[in-house]
Amino acid sequence: MTNPLQQAAQAIVAGKHVIAVTGAGISVESGIPDFRSPSGIWNTYPPEQYATIDAFMADPDRVWNMWYDLGAMLSDAAPNPGHHALTALQDMGRLDAVITQNIDNLHEEAGCTTVIEYHGNAKHMRCLDCQRVVPLDMDKRTSKAPRCTCGGIMKPDVVLFGDLIPEEAVRAADHAAENADVVIIVGTSATVYPAAQLPITAKHNGAFIIECNLEATDFTARITDAFLEGPAGTTLPTLVEAVLEILQ
Ligand code: NAD
Ligand code: ZN
């Protein structure tokens, strides 16, 4: 019997279209807490009160205060070995795309070139009136929501609860999930839909599912073929090593 690590590595080597679906867990070791951790920013700013489109529209100034705090935390964060391991797989020609629910830009900062941002990117903001997208300039922080040159209110260019997922990201992610023969799920609790549907779609089409998580999730019993338990900053580099060993 081969162990889950070997099974996962063999699936990646045999796979023609390998994708990764990542969530907040992959960035925890970069110092960005996920929604579930008991301490940190989400305690001060409960997501259901600050990360909904209704909360934003009701009081943009109040919600921007939280986004500036979050922005400061994101600018301090750097990619960790988990992000770098996925980039290494990409550079070896073994990973087609990373679909991420994260808004922290860390896959890009790790050199990943095929990132499908399912929930947008907090380093940018978008005008609610003219849709112009510009970088978020932390130095221009005031107590008010930033304004566009057209006078419109700027919103962080992220998908808030109640927002639609950007059409292009949905199309690209659906296409990648439908064609994948291996999916590496990393650090997502499988609770936020429709992102959580992507590995399920792939599984229905026959994909082999690798899950790298600290603990079992709703995916584990339902669709996971190889569960790699532990922090992604350890399990993903180990997985890359196991792939390299087979290839040597
Ligand atoms: P989640 O917080 O619901 O779940 C995170 C999962 O990662 C949990 O299962 C947890 O056990 C696991 N985990 C924690 N540390 C880990 C580690 N070191 N290695 C591997 N796994 C680890 O996150 P979610 O499913 O991504 O859903 C939350 C939503 O909030 C997402 O849609 C995302 O857009 C947003 N969010 C983003 C960030 C970010 O950009 N970094 C941070 C928090 C929340
Ligand atoms: Zn505008």
Q: What is the pLDDT of residues 158-206, one digit of tens each?
A: 999 999 999 999 999 999 999 999 999 999 988 888 889 999 999 999 9
Given the candidates 3.40.50.1220, 3.40.50.1470, 3.30.70.1140, 3.40.190.10, the CATH classification of the domain at 1-32+79-119+164-248 is 3.40.50.1220
What is the Å distance from ligand 1's center to 57 Cα? 25
CA distance 199 to 209: 7
Is it true that 1-32+79-119+164-248 and 34-76+121-158 share their CATH fold?
no
CA distance 44 to 47: 9
Q: Could you report the per-residue pLDDT of 92-111, keeping only the tens digit for each?
A: 999 999 999 999 999 999 99
What is the Å distance from ligand 2's center to 147 Cα? 8
CA distance 25 to 134: 27
CA distance 89 to 87: 5
Closest residue CA from atom 39 of ligand 1: 102
Fold of 34-76+121-158: SIR2/SIRT2 'Small Domain' (3.30.1600)
The model's pTM: 0.95
Q: In 3D, which of 153, 177, 165, 57 has the Cα closest to residue 103?
A: 165
Enumerate the domain spans of the chain: 1-32+79-119+164-248, 34-76+121-158
Active site residue 84: no
Q: Could you report the per-residue pLDDT of 113-142, keeping only the tens digit for each?
A: 999 999 999 999 999 999 999 999 999 999
Q: Which residue of the set 119, 124, 175, 204 is catalytic?
A: 119
